[in-house]
Structure 1
Amino acid sequence: MPADPQRSVTSEPPRGAGTSAVEVRRSPRRSRTVSAYREGDRTIVLIPARMSEAEERRWVGVMLDKLAAQESRGVLGDRELTERALHLSEQYFDGRARPRSVRWVTNQNTRWGSCTPSEGSIRLSHRLQGMPEYVVDYVLLHELAHLLVPGHGPAFWRLLEAYPRTERARGYLEGVVAAARLPHPPAAGEAAREE
Structure 2
Amino acid sequence: MPANPVSVDFMASDDLPVRIIRSAKRQKTVSSQWKQDRLVVQVPARLDEKTERAMVEQMIQKYRQSKARREASTTSDALDARASVLDQQYFGGAARPASVRWVSNQNKRWGSASLHQRTIRLSDSLLHTPGWVQDYVLVHELAHLAAPKDGHGPLFQSLLNRFERREEADQYLAGFSAGYRAFAREQGREASTGGFDSDED
Aligned AA for 1:136? Answer: Q
Offset, 1:139? 0.5
Aligned AA for 2:131? Answer: E
Bigger Rg, structure 1 or 2: 2
* Cα deviation code 1:53-81 (max 9, x no counterpart): xxxxxxxxxxxxxxxxx9x8534211111
Tell me, what secondary structure is at the counterpart of 2:120?
strand
Tell me, what secondary structure is at the counterpart of 1:119?
coil
Partner of 2:157: 157
Partners of 2:93 and 2:109 in 1: CA distance: 25
Q: How many residues align?
A: 119
Partners of 1:128 and 1:186 in 2: CA distance: 20
Offset, 1:186? 7.0
The 5-angstrom pairing of residues 174-193 of structure 1 reads: 174-182=174-182
Tell me, what secondary structure is at the counterpart of 1:155?
helix
Partner of 1:114: 112
Root mean square deviation of aligned Cα: 2.6
Structure 1 residue ranges without an equivalent (≥5): 1-36, 38-69, 188-195
* Cα deviation code 1:1-46 (max 9, x no counterpart): xxxxxxxxxxxxxxxxxxxxxxxxxxxxxxxxxxxx9xxxxxxxxx
Asked whether the equivalents of residues 73 and 131 of structure 1 are also in contact (C-alpha less than 8 Å), the reply is: no
Tell me, what secondary structure is at the counterpart of 1:104?
strand
Aligned AA for 1:165? Answer: R
Offset, 1:180? 2.7
Percent identity, aligned pairs only?
A: 48
Partner of 1:170: 170
Offset, 1:127? 0.3
Structure 2 residue ranges without an equivalent (≥5): 1-32, 34-66, 188-201
Q: TM-score, length-normalised on structure 1?
A: 0.55
Offset, 1:93? 0.7
Among 88, 100, 103, the alignment partner of 1:102 is 100
Bigger RCO (CA 8 Å, 6+ sep): 2
Q: TM-score, length-normalised on structure 2?
A: 0.54
Runs of 4+ in structure 1 displaced over 2 angstroms? 72-76, 180-187
Q: Against the structure 1 CA distance between its residues 173 and 73, is the aligned structure 2 distance closer, same or farther, given a 3 Å change threshold?
A: farther
Partner of 2:132: 134
Partner of 2:146: 148
Structure with the bigger percentage of helix: 2
Partners of 2:186 and 2:97 in 1: CA distance: 44
Partners of 1:158 and 1:95 in 2: CA distance: 16
Q: Against the structure 1 CA distance between its residues 117 and 179, is the aligned structure 2 distance closer, same or farther, given a 3 Å change threshold?
A: same
Q: Against the structure 1 CA distance between its residues 186 and 167, is the aligned structure 2 distance closer, same or farther, given a 3 Å change threshold?
A: closer
Aligned AA for 1:145? Answer: A
Tell me, what secondary structure is at the counterpart of 2:128?
coil
Aligned AA for 1:168? Answer: E
